[in-house]
Every structure is written in C-alpha cells, then in structure tokens.
Structure 1
Amino acid sequence: MDNEMTLSFLARSENEALARVAVTSFIAQLDPTIDELAECKTIVSEAVSNAIIHGYEGNEFGVITVHAVRNGDNISVAIKDEGRGIENVEQAMEPLFTTKGEMERSGMGFTIMESFSDDLQVESALGKGTVITFSKRISPVRAVVM
C-alpha cells in the first residue's frame, strides 16, 4: 500500500460533492486522465447517492464512510453505509431495476458503476448496511517530450 484515506460524513445530499472531491483529490496523485477522474467521480456519486436514498431513506444522521487505498497505479475505494441493506443484490444490480420509481430513478446506478470500474463488489446485509467497493487502474498522463 502506497497511501490511504478515510472520510466519514452524514448522509446528506450536499455531502455527495465532498466525497467526489476527496476521492478525486486522492486519485490526482497518480496523474490520471480527465476521463479516469470523471469515471471515478461518477462511481462515487452513484454509490453515495444509493447510500443516502436507499440505505438511509432520508435519515440525514446516518453515516457514510469512504475508504480509498492507492497501491502503485491501482486505486480501490469502498463506500460503506450502515443502513437498511439490500434485500437482493443480484436483482438490484440489474439494469433499469429501481425501488424508487416514484423518484424518477433510472435504475442504472450499478450498471454505470460497473462500466466505469475494473472491478465492482457489492456486499450487503439486511439491517446492517452495504459496502460498494470499486477498483480501477489509473494510466498516468505522461509528459510529452519534444
């Protein structure tokens, strides 16, 4: 392990931006491409939004923890809540599946997270919460020699 960080915050929508900024600042040490930063920001946004909307269902006093580890060119980020958990992870990860249709949710969060990461793991237990972990190899931008 080359470096790591942990950030905990309340399950409030305004803290989604805090999580994105913290993770992208941490990843910036690897000199990622703009696309890689955007993909990681999107994954973090989706995971934190899921924790707020589905995990805590409006309980702004729930805590979300983001833990990131850098090892060489690889980054691993875990987003954890201690909310209600996911009853059926496999079903929840199906494209277009949503339990919050009344909120105009598209049901594409997990699909987007999977497409932008090298590996995505979802662990959940009813009444205990969910951990979404993604890993991604960062391809540093190399300086052009003239």
Structure 2
Amino acid sequence: MTLTFHALSENERFARLAVSGFLSQLDPNISELSDIKTAVSEAVTNAIVHGYRERSGEVMMQVRIFEDSRICIKIQDKGCGMADVEQAMTPLYTSSPEEERAGLGFTIMETFMEKVRVKSKPDKGTTVILERTVQGKRRL
C-alpha cells in the first residue's frame, strides 16, 4: 500500500487508521496493532512537525507485508532533513526546544518495532523505515 497525504497534523490519525486497516489481513492482536500504530504516529508526526516546520509539504507512507508476516513501513518527507541522524535519535533530543516536545519519538519507535532505520539529508528530507513481524492469528 502506498499513500501520499498533506503534512497536516490531522493526517496523523488518517495514517494510523490506514495502517490499521491494511494490516488487519494479518489478524494482529490488539497489543501488536496498538504498538505499530503508535510507532507510525510518531514517525508521521516527526515528518509533519520537524520535516516541514512552518511550510507545507507531503508525507509518503508505504506499507509492505511479506510472506513470513514481517511488515515494513516506510514514512518519507521531502522536508528540511537532518545533518546528524545519530544525535536526532538520542533520547530527549529535540530540534525544537522552544516547543513543548519530549524528544522521545525515535525512542518510542524503537520500543515498539523490531527495527528502525533512518536516512536523512539536509534540505532533501527524511525516510524512516519501521520493521516488525506480526504474530497475529493468521499468516499469509
């Protein structure tokens, strides 16, 4: 599944619902689905809030399911990007200290997913790749 949507805060909810609906074919348990939706929410929020800051743009989300019930979710923006991904992934780091942000987005993603990869280039954007195997009740 591939979706592209405007980088607006109200579309974070849309992204969560879209992922939930698409992954329903794996019949995930409630805990798995909640974890995945939370990680997606954090990644999409980062793209909207930090990627585009005060300007408009689009967020692309691609979700793939593999035969072993492993999922891969890619969330990409074409915003400002990051010069130092390692620093950005440090717990409590925030690029917007003037705002009330906890700096835990990547930490939350890493808590709920088996693998989190981040690629970013200044002025080119950021891609977050989330991976996890869904145990669920049904296998594809």
TM-score normalised to structure 1 length: 0.91
Partner residue of 2:14?
18
1:66 matched to 2:61: yes
Please give the residue correspondences for 1:47-58 in structure 2 after superposition, counting only pairs within 5 Å.
Answer: 47-58=43-54
1:139 deviation in Å? Answer: 0.5
**Aligned residue pairs, count:** 137
Structure 1 CA distance for aligned equivalents of residues 136 and 107 of structure 2: 25
Provide the alpha-carbon RMSD of the alignment: 1.0
Secondary structure class of the residue paired with 1:37: helix
Gap regions ≥5 residues in structure 1? none
Matched, 1:120 2:116: yes
- 1:122, 1:133 within 8 Å by CA — same for their partners in 2? yes
Of the two, which has the highest radius of gyration?
Answer: 1
Q: Please list the CA deviations of residues 33-53 of structure 1 after superposition, one character each: whole Å capped at 9, or x if unmatched.
A: 111111111111101110111
* Residue aligning to 2:78: 82
Instruction: Give the letter for the 1:20 counterpart.
Output: R
TM-score, L = length of structure 2:
0.95
SS at match of 1:36: helix
Deviations 1:47-101 (A, max 9, x none): 11101111000323x0100000001211100000000001210000000001112
Structure 2: 5+ residue stretches without partners: none
Which of structure 1's runs of 4+ aligned residues deviate more than 6 A? none
Displacement, 1:102?
1.8
